[in-house]
Amino acid sequence: MENIPMLTILGLLPLVGALVAFGVKGRAGRNVAFGFSLLTFAVGFAVFHMSLHSDLAQTVDWIPQIGAHYALSVDGMARAMVLLTVILTPLVLAFEWNNDTPHLAAHKTPRWDVNVFGALALLVEGFALFVFMSADVLLFYLFFEGSLIPLFLMIVGWGGEKRRGAALKFLLFSLAGGLVMLVALIGVYAATSAAGNPTFLVSEIAAIEIDPRLARWLFAGFFFAFAVKAPMVPVHTWLPDTAEQATPGTSTMLVGVLDKIGTFGMIKFCLGLFGEASQWASQLVIIVAVVSIFYGAFMAITSKNLLRLVAYTSVSHFGFMVLGIFAFTITSIAGSIFYMLAHGFSSAAMFFVVGFLVNRRGSAEISDFGGVQRLAPVLAGTFLVSGLATLGLPGTANFAGEFSIMVGAFRVIPVMVFVSVIATVLAGLYVLWAYQRVFTGEPTEEVREKITDDLGGRERAIIGVLIFLLLFFGFIPRFGASVSEKTATATMSQLGIDDPVNGSIGGK
């Protein structure tokens, strides 16, 4: 087994699947895409297991002149992200199973056939997998930028009336972030060259002493790109617009998978390569994170559109992850990684249940609903469970993540945690208020006309898988925790910070 490049196979599989699905027209192509996503899931799951026992890393010289390598490896965090990606992609394809039929009244006519959607989603999956597995900064950057294109096309191709504008906004923000990162990347190369070992390999860069002043600039470059991706206030405004216009399947690939690259990158590159600079910037970053937590929560409360509401909850939740990362404790960093996984599942669940509603009603405006529980009790129940996960109820995966973040961070920044914890009440408000307006009371005539059926078998299966995962990682979080902890411990030793000991609060 040792000579089989499992990681390369894992990354290439969905890309090959994408090519085939492009070629096979119509619903047959869709089926092919779904088949490939299942196959990728199987391989991804195998990789997850094998990597626990053996080192699957590969390193091949790629452009030796500049020290670029084709290097892949998976650590604990990458494992978690691989798992998330290979689970969510088939669910997204299953959700968008019939997105070629006109009954999706909420949406303009699709630009392309359903097989193209499958192919694009597989492209996003393949690129994302390579991003998570890259052990070379240049390789990471190329796939990072590459993933924008299929996602851009997914927004342009399927969704609401104003999807072109939203797609453009998404692209502009992402390109701006990417551009800044490119500059930082060149800076890294300059630094490694100056140190006599021109390289893009993460492990080698980490070993090089970079001039602190330069390192701070490089840190800022990376951080900006990741903050756009994550997304943090004030560079978040592309997300609600995109989520409102794109189909829920696209939004899931975006928020569930691609946005995780933001927090993933902060841990792997910002903390991993520029430890001193990360500590230098940490106070500011934490303040921005806390602002994001509340900003996202308040915007979610005032949202009149369910899709925008889900997007804003993510802004709030990414704020928690960043808070955990920059608190610099093993517990809070590992908690953030765990939360990345949990949030992937919970945001997917929210986008899907809202999608079920939108597909029936033809609108995501909250005021167009009311009393739906009477007409579709199963849909109501799954919305409620997904919502309870989103608000971090104990017994769901999100609680384990949020709790670890705050327990860890409290040792270092107690005041910030005292403030942030209030957001858990706001979360209760935006979830339950949305539930109340959509599902409780008596349905109006119009709602009765439009919402005629409860969830079907395919829909139940999709949401059932996600609810199972949310409860599984909620009741038995130790499976995700052990994976997250390894990366957190390694990151802390790279940072050179000792984990705080018992008896100290706020470093005292």
Q: How far is the CB of 30 from another protein (least distance, A)?
A: 30
Instruction: From 136-144, 189-197, 302-310, 351-359, give the range in contact with another protein by CB under 8 A.
Output: 302-310
Work out which of 388, 447, 462, 467 binds another protein, going by CB under 8 A: 388
- Token pair in block for residue 452: 């005629």
Candidate segments 92-100, 104-112, 255-263, 402-410, binder of another protein by CB under 8 A: 402-410
Nearer to another protein, 170 or 223 (CB): 170
- d(C-alpha 300, C-alpha 114), whole Å: 32
Contact 379, 353 (CB under 8 A): yes
Tokens 């140190």 identify what position?
Answer: 195
Query: What is the three-class DSSP state of 30?
Result: helix
> Quick one: CA torsion of 258, 263, 269, 275, rounded to 10 degrees?
170
Instruction: Return d(Cα 88, Cα 85) in angstroms, integer.
Output: 5
What is the three-class DSSP state of 134? strand
Among 25, 103, 304, 458, binds another protein (CB under 8 A): 304
In the region spanning residues 233 to 262, those forming contacts with another protein, defined by CB under 8 A, are: 233-234, 237-238, 241, 244
Residue 192: what residue type?
T
Residue 446 vs residues 102, 106, 371, 381: alpha-carbon distances, Å: 20, 15, 11, 22
Output 102 or 503, the one with its CB closest to another protein: 503
Cβ proximity to another protein: between 209 and 442 the closer is 442
68-72 and 58-63 as β-strands: parallel, antiparallel, unpaired?
antiparallel
Q: What is the DSSP letter of 506?
A: T
Length of the chain: 508
Among 107, 343, 411, 450, binds another protein (CB under 8 A): 411
Residue choice 5, 26, 394, 456 for contact with another protein (CB under 8 A): 394
Which residue, 124 or 438, has its beta carbon nearer to another protein? Answer: 438
Which distant-in-sequence residues (6+ apart) come within 8 Å of 234 by Cβ? none
**CB closer to another protein, 158 vs 338:** 338
For residue 408, give the nearest of 465, 476, 487, 323 by alpha carbon. 323
Nearer to another protein, 33 or 286 (CB): 286
- Measure the CA dihedral 71/74/79/83, to 10°: 30
Number of residues engaging another protein in binding (CB under 8 A): 79
Residue among 98 and 302 whose Cβ is closer to another protein: 302
Contact set for another protein, span 197-236 (CB under 8 A): 233-234
d(CA 324, CA 202): 23
Nearest distance from residue 417's CB to another protein, in Å? 6
Shortest distance (Å) from residue 485 CB to another protein: 6
Q: Which helix (H) or strand (E) holds 191?
A: helix 163-194
Per-residue contact string for residues 367-386; x = within reach of another protein by CB under 8 A:
----x-xx------x-----
Nearest distance in Å: CB 292, another protein = 12
Euclidean distance between CA atoms 401 and 71, whole angstroms? 30
- Taking CB under 8 A as the criterion, the residue among 112, 152, 280, 433 binding another protein is 433
DSSP states along 420-448: HTTHHHHHHHHHHHHHHHHHSSPPPHHHH
Sequence-distant (≥ 6) Cβ neighbours of residue 442 within 8 angstroms: 370, 371, 374
Report DSSP state, residue 362: S
- For position 451 contacting another protein by CB under 8 A, the verdict is no
Based on the shown chain and the rule CB under 8 A, indicate whether residue 311 belongs to the binding site for another protein. Answer: no
Q: Which helix (H) or strand (E) holds 80?
A: helix 76-95
Residue selected from 197, 283, 436, 444 as contacting another protein according to rule CB under 8 A: 436
Note whether 263 binds another protein by CB under 8 A: no
**Binding residues among 131-190 for another protein as defined by CB under 8 A:** 162, 164-166, 168-169, 172-173
Restricted to residues 5-44, the positions that interact with another protein (CB under 8 A) are none
| Side chain identity, residue 403 | F
- Does 505 sit near another protein (CB under 8 A)? yes
Please report, as residue ranges, which positions from 473 to 492 form the binding site for another protein (by CB under 8 A). Answer: 476-478, 481-482, 484-485, 488-489
In the block, tokens 């349905």 appear at 443
> Looking up tokens 């992850």, which residue turns up?
321
Exactly one of 332, 346, 347, 491 binds another protein (CB under 8 A); that residue is: 332
Regarding 466 and contact with another protein (CB under 8 A), the answer is: no
Tell me how far, at minimum, the Cβ of 398 lies from another protein, in Å: 12
Residues of span 39-78 touching another protein by CB under 8 A: none
283 contacts another protein (rule: CB under 8 A): no
389 in contact with another protein (CB under 8 A): no
Q: Which of 331, 346, 386, 487 binds another protein (CB under 8 A)?
A: 331
Nearest-approach distance from CB 227 to another protein, in angstroms: 14
- Rounded-to-integer distance, Cα 138 and Cα 397, Å: 34
Instruction: With H, G, I as helix, E, B as strand and everything else as coil, classify residue 196.
Output: coil
Per-residue tokens: 441: 């009371």
Interface region with another protein, contact rule CB under 8 A, candidates 95-103, 113-121, 298-306, 455-463: 298-306
Q: Which stretch binds another protein (CB under 8 A): 36-44, 61-69, 196-204, 438-446?
A: 438-446
Other C-beta atoms closer than 10 Å to the C-beta of 501 total 7
